Amino acid sequence: MRSMVCLSVLTLCVVRLCLAQESTSAPPTAASGHVVVVRTHALIDGTSAQPRANQEILIQGDRITAVYAAGTRPSPPGAQVLDLGNSTVLPGLIDCHTHIFLQGEIPAAGGYDIQLLKFPASYRAARAVVAARRALEQGFTTIRDVETEGAGYGDLGIKQAINEGYIPGPRMFVVTRAISTTGGYPLEGYAPEIVVPKGAQLIDGPVEARKAAREQLDHGADWIKVYMTHRSWVDEQGALVSQPTLTLEEIQAIVDEAHGWRKKVACHAYNGIGLQRALDGGCDSIEHGLELTDAQVAQMVKQGTWLVPTLAVYYYDPDPPETPTGKRDRKRVEVHGVSFRKALRGGVKIAFGTDVGGFVWTDPIAQEFARMVEFGMTPMQAIQAATSRAAELLGERGQLGVIAPGAYADVIAVSGDPLADVGVLKNVSFVMKNGSVFRSTLRQPGE
Ligand SMILES: [Zn+2]
């Protein structure tokens, strides 16, 4: 049943894609003077506190040029009018923490390790292409993909193929290989005599740290991703402990280098010493931030550090309760909601991120919205975290995550009211990226 549904959705999208591709054979940024008017019953524009009723969005090429009350202006001659009926229109969503090179690996099927040890790079790239399409189908028109997990610079090629119109997918901000230390990333647990590949670029010392950042930036990384904590467990007092990886000198070298290139640094950090070094070292975004102290919240506010929490992923498949990893899995969930509430109350800037790829791409990315609301955000705050706030994190304020003149024409629609139930964001019925319709399950009047 489930596979049949998936298949029909897939077929539909392929058909729609062909239409979209035909109309924009040139690269998306060079979309022609095609003029479209999107008519909407309710508009959530990404920045305003309230939705607006009965609006029209004028799109020319790949940009939004005007937004106005429906019926107050004649449509330009030759414009294509898309009446989205009773649906709610929003900016294309942004997921700031994805992994298109992961597929929610289950241990029984070889888990993480088999990806690096047995799968050809081409197989992993093929699946990454599918993952990218899945993001776009679900209304995520932009992603920050935070490392390829042993697939080297593979994200650069996927991004290029999307930008050149060869495959459908969101616009991508990529980090390439990511950085950790010896003893700070898988593959692990093999005989010491055997050299196995690692899922990130491992460095030791500030010289190697800076060199790794330079290499990645030189090859085209949009961001640098660093793992500031690695192993985690529950100690005798019942507290969550995470192993710190980079020293302060190492992370400072990376941040200094990246900032010199006007690029930013995303730091995976659970809690404790590693998270503190991330903050002291000047990281731009804390990924996960499972357990923030009051002092760390204050430091984040002062420094303008972002939090990308990724709540939902930690609810997946905990190990049995009495095992060390099972205890760890439950503790992560227990402290994470508390940390999120604390950050929210304290005024930390929060952007939407999910770690999808850590769970399968067939599951809804938008499940994260319900967790953000469960732990204290209003639905509008959660939506803005995935639109205008996420755009701000990416340095794209006014360009992405907003429906306003001058922004890229990334527009989605859902049936129902996401402010009453954020769950409706799991069923996106219309997706436009760069002014081209990728997906529409809505019937046009007269169809
Ligand atoms: Zn991740």
Neighbours of 196 (CB within 10 A): 14
HSE on the CB side for 306, CA within 13 Å?
Answer: 24
Helices (H), 66-176: 111-117, 121-137, 154-163
Which pLDDT score is estimated for 11?
35
3-class SS at 26? coil
CA of 105 to the centre of ligand 1 (A): 13
Global pTM reads 0.92
Band (pLDDT 50/70/90 cuts) for residue 441 is confident
Distance CA 269, CA 278 (A): 7
CA of 290 to the centre of ligand 1 (A): 13
The stretch 378-396 carries a mean pLDDT of 98
pLDDT at 29 over 90: no
Q: What is the DSSP string of 191-254?
A: -TTS----SSEEE-SHHHHHHHHHHHHHHT-SEEEEE-EEEEEE-TTS-EEEEE-S-HHHHHHH
CA of 358 to the centre of ligand 1 (A): 7
Which amino acid does the sequence have at 429? S
CA of 97 to the centre of ligand 1 (A): 6
CA of 264 to the centre of ligand 1 (A): 16
Phi (first) and psi of residue 193, to 5 degrees: -75, -15
Q: For Cα atoms 330, 332, 338, give the angle at the middle one, nearest 5 degrees.
A: 110
Pick from 116, 127, 126, 112: nearest CA to 150: 116
206: left (phi over 0), alpha (psi -120 to 50) or beta: alpha
CA of 332 to the centre of ligand 1 (A): 15
CA of 357 to the centre of ligand 1 (A): 8
pLDDT at 10 over 60: no
Distance CA 444, CA 447 (A): 5
Which amino acid does the sequence have at 195? V
HSE on the CB side for 104, CA within 13 Å?
Answer: 14
Distance CA 66, CA 345 (A): 35
Residues in a beta bridge with 53: 42
3-class SS at 60? strand
Summary mean pLDDT of the chain: 93
Tokens 């998306």 — which residue?
A: 28
Band (pLDDT 50/70/90 cuts) for residue 91 is very high
Whether residue 187 is preceded by a cis peptide bond, meaning omega within 30 degrees of 0, is yes
Phi (first) and psi of residue 99, to 5 degrees: -140, 95
End-to-end CA distance of the chain: 28
Which pLDDT score is estimated for 90?
98
CA of 147 to the centre of ligand 1 (A): 8
In which element (H, E) is residue 116 found?
Answer: helix 111-117
Which pLDDT score is estimated for 150?
97
Distance CA 177, CA 226 (A): 9
pLDDT at 422 over 50: yes
CA of 144 to the centre of ligand 1 (A): 11
The stretch 212-234 carries a mean pLDDT of 98
Which pLDDT score is estimated for 445?
56
CA of 146 to the centre of ligand 1 (A): 6
pLDDT at 4 over 80: no
The stretch 349-365 carries a mean pLDDT of 98
Structure-block tokens of residue 32: 């022609």
Which pLDDT score is estimated for 8?
37
Which pLDDT score is estimated for 33?
76
Distance CA 382, CA 371 (A): 9
What is the percentage of the chain residues whose pLDDT exceeds 90? 89
pLDDT (tens digit, 9 = 90+) per residue, 112-171? 999 999 999 999 999 999 999 999 999 999 999 999 999 999 999 999 999 999 999 999
CA of 87 to the centre of ligand 1 (A): 32
CA of 229 to the centre of ligand 1 (A): 12
Band (pLDDT 50/70/90 cuts) for residue 446 is low
Output the CA torsion sign for 317, 318, 320, 323. Answer: positive
pLDDT at 229 over 70: yes
Which amino acid does the sequence have at 368? E
Which pLDDT score is estimated for 106?
85
Band (pLDDT 50/70/90 cuts) for residue 266 is very high
CA of 308 to the centre of ligand 1 (A): 10
Band (pLDDT 50/70/90 cuts) for residue 283 is very high
pLDDT (tens digit, 9 = 90+) per residue, 30-88? 346 799 999 999 999 999 999 999 999 999 999 999 999 999 999 999 999 999 999 99
pLDDT at 3 over 60: no
DSSP state of 165: T
pLDDT at 17 over 70: no
Distance CA 25, CA 32 (A): 10
CA of 416 to the centre of ligand 1 (A): 31
Least confident of 13-27, 208-222, 359-373: 13-27
Which pLDDT score is estimated for 107?
85
CA of 405 to the centre of ligand 1 (A): 33
pLDDT at 14 over 80: no
Which pLDDT score is estimated for 25?
36
Tokens 């050809």 — which residue?
A: 120
CA of 96 to the centre of ligand 1 (A): 10
CA of 402 to the centre of ligand 1 (A): 25
Distance CA 291, CA 343 (A): 10
CA of 49 to the centre of ligand 1 (A): 30
In which element (H, E) is residue 345 found?
Answer: helix 324-346
Q: For Cα atoms 344, 345, 348, give the angle at the middle one, nearest 5 degrees.
A: 45
Tokens 């990886």 — which residue?
A: 245
pLDDT at 28 over 60: no
CA of 169 to the centre of ligand 1 (A): 19
